[in-house]
Amino acid sequence: MITARAHTNIALLKYWGKKDENLILPFNDSISLTLDRFYTDTSVEFDANLVEDTITVDHQPLIGPGLKRVTRVLDLIRAKSGHNLPAKVFSSNHVPMAAGLASSSSAFAALAAAAAKASGLILSNRELSILARHGSGSASRSIFGGFVQWHAGFDNQSSYAESIQCPVDWDVNLITVLIDTKQKKVSSTIGMQSVAKTSPFFPAWVKSAQADVKPIKNAILNKNLASLGELAEQNAMRMHATTFGAIPSFTYFQPETLAILNTVRNLRKQGVECYSTVDAGPNVKIICASTDNEKVITRLAAIVGQDRLVVCKPGPGVTYL
């Protein structure tokens, strides 16, 4: 039995929409930061004595769409390794699931790493990234630590993630505001499909997101927090604009989401260098330097309470326990 740990990542340049639903190929490149505080541990063993796969997540049998996604990754590994043994999978999430905190990114990265090694395969990180992508697009990035780029590509082999900078040797952290950790009403998959098919803003989103790739990479490599934060905040707001334009219209924002976004803007006006990003969920992440943590946390705690704030730093790539 092999156990792997993978950390969640938060996209600073968002992945939002698939040009190929089967291969999970995105319309545009994305860039993320792997976090140290949220992670998934997954153990996998292939066992000839089993009749079928047994998959447990947080001590509960996995059912529904999630089960199909896990089986898909396991089937790819079985085909690649040349054996057809059933698998026993135990997974433990140290991150709220389906709440816009990228739980699937760590879950499928850990699954791909543990299952591949348990099957006897020796895969590069690039190959693991491609494999993890078949479970969740964002999981391709969680194979790596620090800042990561996922290349959209045009087929299975050309769509993969790679490291931009790891370890991260400059002062950047991310404060997560846990506004609502319950499962969201519109899943990321359904949300992407809806906006890609019905939102008139979607083509403009894809064009602007791809244009952001080089500037954001330059900001990271030049260790320019202001440039990185401004670009990430703009990118996130453009992504969420597509949901308002969908038919029917929907949003992941809650009243507290808007309150946090306004607070961050006001802090900037007062000279505090901080920026917001929001994935497909209500929870806001604040990009700032650790030297400004106290100022940001004091203001945010007045809105949501101290216990709903988690300070994250750049995290590592996948490891084996």
Give pLDDT tens digits for 220-273. 999 999 999 999 999 999 999 999 999 999 999 999 999 999 999 999 999 999
pLDDT classification of 64: cutoffs 50, 70, 90: confident
What pLDDT does residue 96 have?
Answer: 57
In CATH, the architecture of 2-169 is 2-Layer Sandwich (3.30)
Decide whether 2-169 matches 173-312 in CATH topology: no
Domains in the chain: boundaries: 2-169, 173-312
Tokens of 197: 């098919």
- H helix runs in 169-279, sequence order: 188-198, 202-211, 213-221, 225-244, 255-269
The whole-chain average pLDDT of the chain stands at 94
Distance in angstroms (rounded) separating the CA atoms of residues 277 and 35: 14
- Are the C-beta atoms of residues 166 and 32 closer than 8 Å to each other? no
Amino acid at residue number 72: R
Across the range 130-147, mean pLDDT stands at: 97
What pLDDT does residue 301 have?
Answer: 95
What pLDDT does residue 86 have?
Answer: 96
Distance in angstroms (rounded) separating the CA atoms of residues 272 and 309: 18
Check pLDDT > 50 for residue 186: yes
CATH number of 173-312: 3.30.70.890
Distance in angstroms (rounded) separating the CA atoms of residues 152 and 1: 33
What pLDDT does residue 102 have?
Answer: 58
Residue closest to 99 by CA, chosen among 234, 275, 278, 243: 278
Check pLDDT > 90 for residue 106: yes
Distance in angstroms (rounded) separating the CA atoms of residues 32 and 46: 32
Using the structure block, give the residue that is written with the tokens 């997560």: 176
pLDDT classification of 278: cutoffs 50, 70, 90: very high
Check pLDDT > 80 for residue 198: yes
> What percent of the chain has a predicted confidence (pLDDT) above 90?
88
- H helix runs in the chain, sequence order: 65-81, 103-118, 125-133, 139-142, 188-198, 202-211, 213-221, 225-244, 255-269, 293-304
Check pLDDT > 60 for residue 58: yes
pLDDT classification of 290: cutoffs 50, 70, 90: very high
pLDDT classification of 98: cutoffs 50, 70, 90: very low
Distance in angstroms (rounded) separating the CA atoms of residues 197 and 99: 23
Tokens of 59: 């001590």
Sign of CA dihedral 299, 103, 107, 249: negative
What pLDDT does residue 99 have?
Answer: 46
